[in-house]
Amino acid sequence: MGTVINAVAIVVASIIGVIFKRGLPEKLQKSAMFVLGLSLAVLSIGWFIRDFLSIGVDGGAYELVSSGDLLIILSLVIGTLIGEAIGIDEGLTRFAHGVEKKYDLPPLAKGFVAGTLIFCVGAMAILGPIDDGLHGDMTTLLVKSALDFVTAMMLAAVLGIGVLFAAFSVLIYQGAITILAAQFGVLLTDEMVRALSMVGNVILVAMGLNFMGVTKTKVANMLPALVVPIVYFAIRGLFG
C-alpha cells in the first residue's frame, strides 16, 4: 500500500508541475534544475556517509571507521560495465520515445528516465519497501512520498509530463521489493541492506551532478551495480 501511495503522489505532483511549467521562463527552469541537482547530491552524500562511517574505539580513543569500501567500488565498476554492455540508458530512452510515437504524446523520455532514477534509486526506495514487506510499516514510504511529491513537482515543471510515467517504474520496482521482502525477508541482512543503500546513494550523487550540468553520465547504466552486493552476500552466505 505504501508504494501505491508513493506512485499516486508522483502522479499528482507531476500534473501540478506540468501546469506550472507553462508559465515558467527558461532561465528559471535552468535554475530550478541546478538547485534540484545540488540538493539531490548533497542529501545523497549525507545518506551515504551515515551508512559508510561509524564510530569505533581504538586504544580508548574514538575514531571514524569506514565499511564496505572495496565492495562499493567493485559494485559500481562491475555494475556500470554490465550496464554499458547491455545499454540500459539507451533502452530506457528508446522505450520512452516509442511510447511517445505510439500514443502521440509530447516528449517524455528525459523526464521518464530522470524520474525513474531519482524515485527508484537510493536508501528510501530500498529500505521503505523492505520495511513494508517485512513488518507492514509504511512510515519510510510515506516520508518518501512527501519528498517525491516535491521533487516530482519541480522536475515536471522543468522536464514535463514524462516524470508522471516514472510512477509506473516506482510501482514495479518498489512493489517487487515489498513482495520479495515479505517472502524472503529472512535472507536479508543489515549489512546487505546497508551496502545497497550506499551504492544507490552514489548513483544519486551522479544524477545530481548531471542535473547541475557538471557531468553527462549515463546514470541508468550504473543500475546493475545494485545487484552486485546481493550476489556478493549470497555467495558469502553459501561458502561463509
Helix, coil or strand: residue 136: coil
**pTM for this model (two decimals):** 0.86
Q: With respect to residue 216, please indicate whether it lies within any of the assigned structural domains.
A: yes
How far, in Å, CA of 14 to CA of 216, rounded? 24
Domain range enclosing 231: 2-54+65-239
Within 10 angstroms of residue 104's Cβ, the number of other Cβ atoms is 6
The reply to whether 60 falls in a domain is no
Strand partners, 64: 55
The pLDDT tens digits along the chain (240 residues) read 899 999 999 999 999 999 987 767 878 888 888 998 999 899 999 989 999 988 876 666 778 788 889 999 999 999 999 999 999 999 988 888 888 788 777 778 889 999 999 999 888 899 899 999 988 999 999 999 999 999 999 999 988 889 999 999 999 999 999 999 999 877 888 899 899 999 999 999 999 999 899 999 999 999 999 999 999 998 998 886
Tell me the helices (H) and strands (E) count for the chain, helix number first: 10, 2
Residues shown for the chain: 240
Domain contains 122: yes
Specify if 119 maps to a domain.
yes
Q: Which residue has the cell 537510493?
A: 122
Residue 141 and residue 47: Cα distance in Å, rounded? 16
Number of separate domains in the chain? 1
- Quick check: is 84 in a domain? yes
Residue listed under C-alpha cell 541546478: 34
